[in-house]
Chains A and B, each alone.
Chain A
């Protein structure tokens, strides 16, 4: 560790000092104050602040972001399925692989920034819009781990009205229930659709039925006269 680095108090990792924005430190402090020990981790990189909270504090964290940190602009809400795809990338055409052949299939769940505990992680991003014109506004990406059985979380509609459709999408694509959502029904897919397409164990059937076209589909080269049969 060099002299310019400091240690992140939560993760214990060395963080280059220029990546720690003072506003981010203050924001994390405010959130910790409001949510007590529900703040499970945070990460600051390239001007973004990631905060992981407990899923039971999800709605409360939303209120804290909006009222205490002034992040009034709702960007998006979605989820990540951290399970490595059981189908891997084996649906790719062979020439898309590097020379070493298909990558080894890893089944262990590896989480991204701020870590995680379970398979499904919900995340949302909100931003303050008028606090710092020209210099980059404060924005927070909030994450929460959801239980593997019956993933559910409180709705954000009372906090950010725009969360309505995003939660419908997350419910449809990941099977996450939103407690208190008035209108949880399909948004993109037909009403009788079964399954949650963006979960990693949902096969992309188009790829299973027909392999990705690559060199296999290319017309044969015309045989050069004289070399026929070679």
Chain B
């Protein structure tokens, strides 16, 4: 299998680097702080890399520069107030953050959500995926030195943000999901506009496929760089496109549906056997395109009806424990909600995707070159708020 061969090669490189540092005592290694203020960490992540020339002997991420303590803060807020906090976890796909928490609360309250609310919720969920991943598709180019794709990404992401704004009133932090449904219905003309945006997003995907995926330099920089075999990916709890790029055919949306309507749609889970940076980019690109088809199907099949179930004004959630995870743009995001029948949650454990995704970096960064550190970080795709919570 190609993956194990590459893994072996990387291991040999790492061992060689180790040996060089240990044996040839006269070559003193250098410790390089990548971050916390560094363009590649888009946020305040810090990577302490021990270098031997250009080769990384060991790299250790250091985070916490943006830790906001949402798990503690959630304990002193009421259930509807918590959505305001968790909007800020993955700030590029904010609406998707709210969904699993609201679903968990609804499970505890045993509220039946009207079908129209579920469908619109799923549409917005996938729209925030587009808003999030489209930025990754451009940003990966910037990290590799190609400046043009990111401008395309910002240009076309704007259309998606406009659609989210038209429904929720917020471009970044919609805070639109409510226990029992949604705050409002769709505005008039929105469905037609969204169809147009989906065409634009597909064109954007085609454009990037031409611009980056077919580029020899891009392939040279990403193929075989940062290979994560499926076993390692599973034991580190990688999720989302990072896991599927390692060849694991698993998507929460298909395999563990929980209140969203993905199981009623016709779509495909994309996987790639290689597990390298190229595979992660490729899978995300395909997923973006797949999401546009999904949204189009949902726009066609949108049922009529109310968007809000009957819920009390003062929301008290019955005692119990619930865990709901959804396939968010960055990966699996879950909330373990413990309620004691109070106004607010007793304990909220936020399982964010980037925390697990980045925890694999010390393993994968042994023996790579400094530019590969940037490639691997970019291809694992983290949002700092999603690591630090």
Interface residue from A74, A110, A113 paired with B237 (Cβ < 8 Å): A74
Interface residue from A50, A98, A188 paired with B64 (Cβ < 8 Å): A188
Q: Which residue of B lies closest to A200 (CB)?
A: B75
Interface residue from B235, B249, B342 paired with A161 (Cβ < 8 Å): B235
Q: Check B310 for interface membership: any CB of A closer than 8 A.
A: no
A5-13, A26-34, A76-84, A217-225: which lies at the interface = A76-84
User: With A46-B107, A91-B76, A92-B76 known to touch, is A72 a contact of B234 (CB < 8 Å)?
Assistant: yes
Q: Is the CB of B359 within 8 A of A164?
A: yes
Task: Give A139 to B334 CA distance when docked, in angstroms.
Answer: 13
- Shortest CB–CB separation between residue A189 and chain B, in angstroms? 6
Q: Check A86 for interface membership: any CB of B closer than 8 A.
A: no
Q: Which of B326-346 touch A at CB < 8 Å? A: 332, 334, 336, 338, 340, 342-344
The 8 A CB mask of B351-364 against A (1 = contact, 0 = none) is 10001100110010
Q: Is the CB of B248 within 8 A of A129?
A: yes
Q: Which of A111-170 touch B at CB < 8 Å? A: 112-113, 123, 125, 129-130, 132-137, 139, 141, 159-162, 164-165
Q: Which residue of B lies closest to A141 (CB)?
A: B323
Q: Check A89 for interface membership: any CB of B closer than 8 A.
A: yes
Q: Which of A197-212 touch B at CB < 8 Å? A: 197-198, 202, 204, 207, 212
Task: Give A4 to B355 CA distance when docked, in angstroms.
Answer: 43
Residues of B within 8 A of A97 (CB): 343
Task: Give A197 to B71 CA distance when docked, in angstroms.
Answer: 10
User: With A73-B234, A165-B359 known to touch, is A204 a contact of B64 (CB < 8 Å)?
Assistant: no
Residues of B within 8 A of A96 (CB): 78, 343
Q: Check B63 for interface membership: any CB of A closer than 8 A.
A: yes
- Shortest CB–CB separation between residue B323 and chain A, in angstroms? 6
Task: Give A134 to B265 CA distance when docked, in angstroms.
Answer: 12
Interface residue from A78, A187, A198 paired with B63 (Cβ < 8 Å): A187
Q: Is the CB of A125 within 8 A of B344?
A: no
Task: Give A173 to B389 CA distance when docked, in angstroms.
Answer: 13
Q: Is the CB of A133 within 8 A of B359?
A: no
Q: Is the CB of A75 within 8 A of B255?
A: no
Q: Which residue of B lies closest to A72 (CB)?
A: B234
Q: Is the CB of A134 within 8 A of B338?
A: no
Q: Is the CB of B336 within 8 A of A133?
A: no
Q: Check B232 for interface membership: any CB of A closer than 8 A.
A: yes
Task: Give A39 to B234 CA distance when docked, in angstroms.
Answer: 25
Interface residue from A46, A75, A80, A207 paired with B351 (Cβ < 8 Å): A75
Task: Give A72 to B236 CA distance when docked, in angstroms.
Answer: 10
Q: Check A21 for interface membership: any CB of B closer than 8 A.
A: no
Residues of A within 8 A of B323 (CB): 48, 125, 141
Q: Check A85 for interface membership: any CB of B closer than 8 A.
A: yes
User: With A197-B69, A204-B72 known to touch, is A188 a contact of B388 (CB < 8 Å)?
Assistant: yes
Q: Is the CB of A98 within 8 A of B255?
A: no
Task: Give A207 to B76 CA distance when docked, in angstroms.
Answer: 9
Q: Which residue of B lies closest to A99 (CB)?
A: B314
Q: Is the CB of A81 within 8 A of B255?
A: no
The 8 A CB mask of B221-250 against A (1 = contact, 0 = none) is 000000000011011111100010000111
Q: Is the CB of B349 within 8 A of A161?
A: no
User: With A78-B336, A80-B338 known to touch, is A162 a contact of B320 (CB < 8 Å)?
Assistant: no
Q: Is the CB of A134 within 8 A of B325?
A: no
Interface residue from A103, A159, A161 paired with B236 (Cβ < 8 Å): A161
Task: Give A47 to B285 CA distance when docked, in angstroms.
Answer: 32
Q: Is the CB of B72 within 8 A of A197?
A: yes
Q: Is the CB of A161 within 8 A of B363?
A: yes
- Shortest CB–CB separation between residue B346 and chain A, in angstroms? 8
Q: Check A181 for interface membership: any CB of B closer than 8 A.
A: no
Q: Is the CB of B342 within 8 A of A103?
A: yes
The 8 A CB mask of A43-78 against B (1 = contact, 0 = none) is 000111010000000000000000000001111101
Q: Is the CB of B250 within 8 A of A198?
A: no
User: With A96-B343, A110-B340 known to touch, is A74 a contact of B236 (CB < 8 Å)?
Assistant: yes
Q: Is the CB of A133 within 8 A of B254?
A: yes
Task: Give A80 to B72 CA distance when docked, in angstroms.
Answer: 12
- Shortest CB–CB separation between residue A81 and chain B, in angstroms? 7
Q: Is the CB of A78 within 8 A of B235?
A: no
Residues of A within 8 A of B340 (CB): 84, 110
Task: Give A164 to B340 CA distance when docked, in angstroms.
Answer: 30
Q: Check B321 for interface membership: any CB of A closer than 8 A.
A: yes
Q: Which residue of B lies closest to A173 (CB)?
A: B71
Q: Is the CB of A129 within 8 A of B64?
A: no
Could you give 12 example pairs across A and B, Cβ below 8 Å?
A46-B322, A75-B351, A76-B356, A78-B349, A92-B76, A110-B340, A133-B254, A141-B323, A162-B236, A165-B355, A165-B356, A187-B64
Where the two chains meet, the residues of A that have a C-beta atom closer than 8 Å to any C-beta of B are 46-48, 50, 72-76, 78, 80-81, 84-85, 89, 91-92, 96-98, 103, 110, 112-113, 123, 125, 129-130, 132-137, 139, 141, 159-162, 164-165, 173, 186-190, 197-198, 202, 204, 207, 212
List 6 A-B pairs, minimum CB-CB distance, nearest first. A162-B236, A188-B64, A74-B237, A129-B250, A162-B237, A188-B67
